[in-house]
Amino acid sequence: MEIPEDAVLLRIFIEETRKWHGQPLYEAIVLKARDMHLGGATVLRGPMGFGKSHRLHIAKIFNLSLDLPLVIEIVESEAKINEFLPVIDEMISSGLVTMEKVKVLHYRGTHPKP
């Protein structure tokens, strides 16, 4: 699978506890991206954040939020991202979705060393 040099970075900001048909939303999004043969997806968990509601989500010893912010990042061709957007639009009831142009320098798999 190849990602073109001129690609798009899709970022999806959601809360960790969001669900899609009983499954964690972030898992559902990543699995759908894989089903649609996108180049890859990464889920990042943030130790602190807030969104439109300004409710603070924070991970501290005495105030451990179980609803931390998550960011899902997907880099792919603009055409494939545009095909994926209606799918995630249906899945996401709240959150932030951004898209920006990126230049892919490397997209390599891991190979065992000889």
Contact 56, 48 (CB under 8 A): yes
* pTM of the full structure: 0.83
pLDDT tens, position by position, 29-73: 999 999 999 989 999 998 777 777 777 767 665 555 567 889 999
Cα 60 to Cα 11: distance, rounded to the nearest angstrom: 25
Q: What is the rounded average pLDDT of the residues 9-29?
A: 95
Task: Work out the mean pLDDT of the chain and round it to a whole number.
Answer: 87
Percent pLDDT > 90 in the chain is 57
CATH fold group of domain 6-103 = Alpha-Beta Plaits (3.30.70)
Helices (H) and strands (E) in the chain, counts: 2, 9
Cα 64 to Cα 58: distance, rounded to the nearest angstrom: 7
Which residues are registered as beta bridge partners of 48? 58
